[in-house]
Structure 1
Amino acid sequence: MPNNVHIAPVDKGAAVQKTTRKRFNVLLLVFITVVINYMDRTNISVAASALSDELSLTSVQMGLVFSAFGWTYSILQIPGGIAVDVVKTRILYPFILIAWSLATLIQGVISSFSALIGCRMAIGVFEAPSYPCNNKIITSWFPESERASAIAVYTSGQFIGLAFLMPVLAVIQNYFGWRGLFIISGIIGIAWAVVWYIFYRDPKDHPKISQQELDLLTVEAPLTTSAPKVKKITFDAAHFKLAFGHKKLWGIYIGQFCLGGTLMFFLTWFPTYLVEYRGLDFIKSGFLASVPFLAAFFGVLVSGFASDFLVRKGVSKEVSRKAPIIIGLMLTMSIVGANYTDDTFWIITFLSLAFFGNGLSSIAWVFVSLISPKKLVGLVGGCFNFIGGLSAVIVPIVIGWLVKDGDFKPALIFIASLALIGCCSYLFLVGKVEQIQTEK
Structure 2
Amino acid sequence: MLFIVTAINVGDRATLSITGSALTEVLGINSVTLGYMFSAFAWAYVLGQLPGGWLLDKFGSVKVYGLSLFLWSTITVAQGMIGFFSVPVAIATLFVLRFLLGLIEAPVYPANSRIVAAWFPLQERGLATVIFNSSMYMSVVLLAPAMGFIAHRYGWEHVYWFMGGLGIVVSLIWFKLVKPPTEHPMVNSAELAYLRDGGAQVDMDKPKAKGAFVPRFSDLKVLLKSPMMWSIYLGKYCDTSLQYFFLTWFPVYLVKGRGLNIMEAGAIAAIPGICGLLGALCGGAVCDYLIRKGFSLSVARKIPLVCGMTMGATLVFCNFTESMWVVTILMSLAIFGKGVVAVDWTLVSDTSPKQITGMAGGLFNMFGNLSGIFTPIVIGYIVQSTGSFSGAMYVVAAHALVGALAFLSMGRLRRLELQRATV
TM-score normalised per structure 1: 0.91
Q: Among 323, 331, 339, which residue is 1:359 paired with?
A: 339
- Report the alpha carbon displacement of residue 90 of structure 1 after superposing the two structures with TM: 2.7
Does the 8 Å CA contact 2:180/2:202 hold for their aligned counterparts?
no
- Report the alpha carbon displacement of residue 227 of structure 1 after superposing the two structures with TM: 4.6
Partner of 1:11: none
The yes-or-no answer on 1:419 pairing with 2:397 is no
CA distance in 2 between partners of 1:296 and 1:141 (Å):
25
Larger Rg: 1
- Report the alpha carbon displacement of residue 176 of structure 1 after superposing the two structures with TM: 2.0
- Per mean C-alpha deviation after superposition, the further-off stretch among 235-244 and 64-73 is 235-244
Q: Counterpart of 1:383 in structure 2: which amino acid?
A: L
Partner of 2:13: 41
Partner of 2:391: 410
- Per mean C-alpha deviation after superposition, the further-off stretch among 193-202 and 224-233 is 224-233
RMSD of aligned Cα (Å) = 1.4
Does the 8 Å CA contact 1:268/1:396 hold for their aligned counterparts?
yes
Q: Counterpart of 1:224 in structure 2: which amino acid?
A: D
CA distance in 1 between partners of 2:289 and 2:93 (Å):
48
Give CA-to-partner distance per residue, 1:214-248, whole Å, 9 cap, x none: 11122212352685348653334641211222111
Q: Among 112, 126, 140, which residue is 2:118 paired with?
A: 140
Change (3 A) 1:232 1:270: farther
Partner of 1:319: 299
Does the 8 Å CA contact 1:299/1:358 hold for their aligned counterparts?
yes
CA distance in 1 between partners of 2:212 and 2:117 (Å):
16
1:252-331 to 2 correspondences below 5 Å: 252-331=232-311
Tell me the SS of whatever aligns to 2:156.
Answer: helix
CA distance in 1 between partners of 2:261 and 2:168 (Å):
32
Q: Among 356, 371, 375, which residue is 1:391 paired with?
A: 371
CA distance in 2 between partners of 1:226 and 1:105 (Å):
31
- Per mean C-alpha deviation after superposition, the further-off stretch among 212-221 and 233-242 is 233-242
Partner of 1:20: none
Partner of 2:87: none
CA distance in 1 between partners of 2:145 and 2:204 (Å):
42
1:162-173 to 2 correspondences below 5 Å: 162-173=140-151
CA distance in 1 between partners of 2:26 and 2:218 (Å):
51
CA distance in 2 between partners of 1:159 and 1:212 (Å):
35
Q: Counterpart of 2:98 in structure 1: which amino acid?
A: R
Change (3 A) 1:204 1:286: same
Does the 8 Å CA contact 1:87/1:229 hold for their aligned counterparts?
no
Q: Among 61, 78, 87, which residue is 2:33 paired with?
A: 61
Q: Which runs of 5+ in 2 are unaligned?
A: 84-89
Change (3 A) 1:94 1:227: closer
CA distance in 2 between partners of 1:202 and 1:242 (Å):
28
Partner of 1:204: 182
- Per mean C-alpha deviation after superposition, the further-off stretch among 187-196 and 237-246 is 237-246
Percent identical residues: 35
Give CA-to-partner distance per residue, 1:245-284, whole Å, 9 cap, x none: 2111111111111000011001000111011111123222
Partner of 2:200: 221
Partner of 2:224: 244
Give CA-to-partner distance per residue, 1:289-344, whole Å, 9 cap, x none: 11111111111000001110110111112221110000001111111100000011
Does the 8 Å CA contact 1:399/1:411 hold for their aligned counterparts?
yes
Does the 8 Å CA contact 1:232/1:375 hold for their aligned counterparts?
no
- Per mean C-alpha deviation after superposition, the further-off stretch among 355-364 and 85-94 is 85-94
CA distance in 1 between partners of 2:168 and 2:217 (Å):
37
CA distance in 1 between partners of 2:53 and 2:36 (Å):
26
CA distance in 2 between partners of 1:247 and 1:434 (Å):
12
Partner of 2:75: 103
CA distance in 1 between partners of 2:262 and 2:234 (Å):
35
Give CA-to-partner distance per residue, 1:121-154, whole Å, 9 cap, x none: 1110110001111100000011111001100111
Q: Among 159, 169, 183, which residue is 2:137 paired with?
A: 159
Q: Among 303, 308, 314, which residue is 1:334 paired with?
A: 314
Q: Counterpart of 1:197 in structure 2: which amino acid?
A: F
Number of equivalent positions: 411
Give CA-to-partner distance per residue, 1:9-53, whole Å, 9 cap, x none: xxxxxxxxxxxxxxxxxxxx1110011101100011110111111
CA distance in 2 between partners of 1:413 and 1:323 (Å):
24
Q: Counterpart of 1:63 in structure 2: which amino acid?
A: G
Tell me the SS of whatever aligns to 2:186.
Answer: coil
Does the 8 Å CA contact 1:332/1:355 hold for their aligned counterparts?
yes
CA distance in 2 between partners of 1:196 and 1:255 (Å):
32
Q: Among 205, 209, 214, which residue is 1:234 paired with?
A: 214
- Report the alpha carbon displacement of residue 88 of structure 1 after superposing the two structures with TM: 2.7
Does the 8 Å CA contact 2:58/2:214 hold for their aligned counterparts?
no
Give structure 1 regions of 4+ aligned residues with deviation exceeding 3 angstroms: 229-233, 235-238
Q: Among 11, 30, 43, which residue is 2:2 paired with?
A: 30
Q: Counterpart of 1:410 in structure 2: which amino acid?
A: G
Tell me the SS of whatever aligns to 2:155.
Answer: helix
Does the 8 Å CA contact 1:256/1:384 hold for their aligned counterparts?
yes
Partner of 1:78: 50
Give CA-to-partner distance per residue, 1:176-199, whole Å, 9 cap, x none: 211111011111100100000001
CA distance in 1 between partners of 2:206 and 2:144 (Å):
43
CA distance in 2 between partners of 1:44 and 1:237 (Å):
33
Does the 8 Å CA contact 2:309/2:337 hold for their aligned counterparts?
yes
Does the 8 Å CA contact 1:243/1:383 hold for their aligned counterparts?
no
Does the 8 Å CA contact 1:45/1:268 hold for their aligned counterparts?
yes
